Amino acid sequence: MRTPVFTGTCPALVTPFDQNGNINYDAFGRLIDAQIAAGVDAVCVCGTTGESATMSIREHIAAVEYCVKRVDHRVKVIAGTGSNDTSAAVYLTQHAQDSGADAALLVTPYYNKASQTGLVKHYEYIAERTELPLILYNVPSRTGVSFTAETYKILSANPKINGVKEASGNFSLLAHTRFLCGDDFYIWSGNDDQVVPMMALGAKGVISVVSNIAPEVMVKMSHLCLDGSFEAASQLQIQYMDLIDALFCEVNPIPVKAAMNLMGMEAGPLRLPLCDISDKNLAVLRASMERMGLLK
């Protein structure tokens, strides 16, 4: 039986940029260190929250290499290596392996809208060309395509495919996947507002946006679930719903970068086509952060 890449909480790390639009490695290093000090179980670099869609291949490679070296085996490093071009996904995954990452996170090919057969061929092709454990990433609101439970069943037979970051919000899909795949295909929540119910159905943790600003909360929530303390975890999930909602009042990572900048964490600007949060939503976000004690 395979072992899950991690259990608990993995922040989907923001990529800080400086005012010239370059990666701010000093701020990035401080973010990584703060997350590890807060007790996270893994970190994810170059995911959606890290604005990987607007990073060049050279920047992507450099960010993964930097993250692996900065982490220095303190926790697992998961590198986002997905693409709508299978050959590009192979290249990024092979580089992540060479850099020393512990696993790769591969979003479903966006824009192409592959069939289920195409999804199977895409991931099997990548798996044949790497030794890294692969975590699938299902986020149909961004990609226009979703896995079916039957496709998960096929892919779960591949020993290199460790599981999936599920961000579809589809609990029926989750339940059917657990029924078909059993305990040897791991699931992680990709939605901060669904951590507890997903873990109640067998998810192993969360790949979290909220962890960028409140890592201790997400670590506690996920570990309460791992310990079977779902009532206490549920109370924490409910307590932080207002903040979670505020962090998704505009498309991720617009609000979380705004929140980090409010906290003096130097997340820096966004890259076009993402733009600054609206004044109205910034006020909502600030008020929620103040209520939760994140701003004084």
13 and 212 Cβ atoms separated by less than 8 Å: yes
Side-chain half-sphere CA neighbours of 229 within 13 A:
11
Residues near 19 by beta carbon (within 8 Å), at least 6 away in sequence: 268, 269
Length of the chain: 296
| Closest to 44 (Cα-Cα) out of 163, 209, 164, 205 | 209
Q: Which residues contact 196 (CB under 8 A, 6 or more apart)?
A: 221, 225, 230, 233, 234, 236, 237
| Contact present, 105 and 69 (Cβ < 8 Å) | no
Cβ proximity of 190 and 180 under 8 Å: no
Report the C-alpha gap between 207 and 7 in whole angstroms: 10
In the chain, the amino acid numbered 295 is L
Active site annotation includes 137: yes
Q: Which residue in 76, 165, 220, 257 is the catalytic one?
A: 165
Instruction: Answer yes or no: are the C-beta atoms of 292 and 240 closer than 8 Å.
Output: yes
Q: Which of 76, 123, 137, 204 is catalytic?
A: 137
Q: Where are the alpha helices (DSSP H) in the chain?
A: 25-37, 57-71, 86-99, 116-127, 140-143, 149-156, 171-181, 195-200, 215-226, 230-239, 241-246, 254-262, 279-291
Query: Is 165 part of the annotated catalytic residue set?
Result: yes
Order of strands, sheet of 161-166, starting from the edge strand that comes earlier in the sequence: 8-11, 205-208, 186-189, 161-166, 134-138, 103-107, 76-80, 42-45
Between CA 98 and CA 247 the distance in angstroms is: 34
Catalogue the active-site residues.
Answer: 137, 165
